[in-house]
């Protein structure tokens, strides 16, 4: 069961009132992903569900670029929700030299957004690289707004997007030198023959409300790129009460301000 609801937030800034739209999705099937413990020992608990040997025999996929396999996501948030791991390699979730592949996938899937969740920013398999994709919706294409940071890269030239991404990566790595990879979520898509990449820098995975008890608790991660863009996932019915103040507060806790 998936129920949707839209909420309009109004924030004032120096330029006057600005409207920001967030969509709240009640999606109890995402409980496992939202409440997943961040542990490097994940594989001691269960075999990697993205490795070919552990995938269900019935789960077929489509080969892409001779190195990725496009699979259906068994716990969808978006229409036609796909998970895209490398076909054979069990390698860590690190995006640095794979942005070009992400854009190549976006070329082939013009009705979709491609998205990436960093290993500490919502990836449910941080030890096995994977991209995801799903059908576009207006909330997912939102760039920068007053709620959270978003670094937007756009060009008609794929190589230029990759070069600009590397510049941004270096800057963010400088801000978070102890991380294997700067904390981030990414949404990439094609619009009017131009490559668009929205990068959401993060300073935390989960907000204070996640760790509260009783009625104060909100089990909102936010899990990844979709939440950061504006589609917030609630896995418990009681969290569906989330209001404007909570949303503003949660974004302010997890988004990394940039100049
Ligand atoms: Zn694996």
Q: Are 190 and 106 in contact (CB under 8 A)?
A: yes
Cα distance between residue 186 and residue 18, in whole Å = 24
The partner residues of 69 in beta bridges, in order of sequence, read 63
Predicted confidence (pLDDT) per residue in 194-227, tens digit:
999 999 999 998 887 777 777 777 777 666 899 9
Output the CA 48–ligand 1 centroid distance in Å. Answer: 5
CA–CA distances in Å: residue 65 to residues 95, 105, 122, 137 = 17, 9, 26, 26
The token duo for 76 is 């969808």
- Centre of ligand 1 from the C-alpha of residue 141, in Å: 30
Distance from residue 114's CA to the centre of ligand 1 (Å): 20
CB-CB contact of 155 with 164 (8 Å):
yes
Distance 180 CA to ligand 1 centre (A): 19
Q: Encoding tokens for residue 226?
A: 């979709």
Cα 121 to middle of ligand 1, angstroms: 18
Distance 32 CA to ligand 1 centre (A): 18
**Separation in Å, CA 114 to CA 42, 163, 219:** 25, 19, 25
Q: Find the Cα–Cα–Cα–Cα dihedral 227, 232, 238, 243, rounded to 10°.
A: 110
pLDDT tens digits along 36-76: 555 555 555 678 999 999 998 888 899 999 999 999 998 89
Compute the distance from residue 227 Cα to the ligand 1 centre, in Å: 25
CA of 52 relative to ligand 1 center, distance in Å: 8
Instruction: Please determine, for residue 245, whether its predicted confidence score (pLDDT) is greater than 70.
Output: yes
- Between the CA of 189 and the centroid of ligand 1 the distance, in Å, is 26
Contact call for residues 145 and 228 (beta carbons, < 8 A): no
Cβ neighbours around 7 below 10 Å, total: 15
What predicted TM-score, i.e. pTM, was given to this entire model?
0.90
How many angstroms does the Cα of residue 206 sit away from the middle of ligand 1? 25
pLDDT at 24 over 90: no
- Ligand 1 midpoint to CA 128 (Å): 5
Q: Is the dihedral of CA 246, 248, 253, 255 positive or negative?
A: positive
Q: Residues 79, 134, 39, CA angle at the centre, nearest 5°?
A: 110
Mean pLDDT of 163-191: 97
């Amino acid at each position: 069961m998936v129920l949707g609801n839209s909420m309009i937030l109004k924030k004032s800034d120096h330029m006057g009132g600005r409207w920001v739209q967030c969509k709240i999705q009640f999606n109890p099937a995402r409980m496992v992903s939202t409440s997943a413990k961040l542990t490097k020992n994940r594989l001691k608990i269960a075999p990697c569900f993205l490795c070919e040997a552990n995938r269900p025999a019935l789960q077929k996929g489509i080969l892409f670029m001779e190195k990725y396999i496009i699979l259906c996501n068994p716990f969808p948030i978006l229409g036609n929700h796909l998970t895209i791991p490398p076909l054979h390699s069990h390698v860590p979730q690190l995006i640095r030299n794979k942005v070009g592949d992400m854009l190549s996938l976006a070329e082939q899937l013009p009705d979709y957004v491609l998205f990436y969740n960093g290993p500490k920013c919502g990836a449910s398999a941080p030890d096995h690289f994977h991209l995801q994709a799903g059908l576009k919706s207006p909330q997912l294409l939102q760039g920068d707004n007053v709620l959270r940071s978003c670094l937007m890269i756009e060009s008609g030239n794929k190589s230029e997007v990759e070069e600009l991404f590397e510049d941004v990566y270096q800057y963010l790595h400088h801000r978070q030198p102890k991380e294997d990879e700067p904390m981030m979520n990414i949404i990439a898509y094609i619009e009017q023959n131009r490559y668009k990449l929205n990068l959401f820098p993060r300073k935390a995975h989960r907000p204070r409300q996640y760790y509260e008890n009783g009625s104060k608790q909100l089990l909102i991660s936010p899990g990844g790129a979709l939440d950061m863009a504006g589609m917030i996932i609630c896995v418990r019915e009681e969290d569906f009460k989330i209001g404007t103040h909570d949303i503003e507060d949660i974004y302010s806790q997890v988004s990394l301000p940039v100049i």
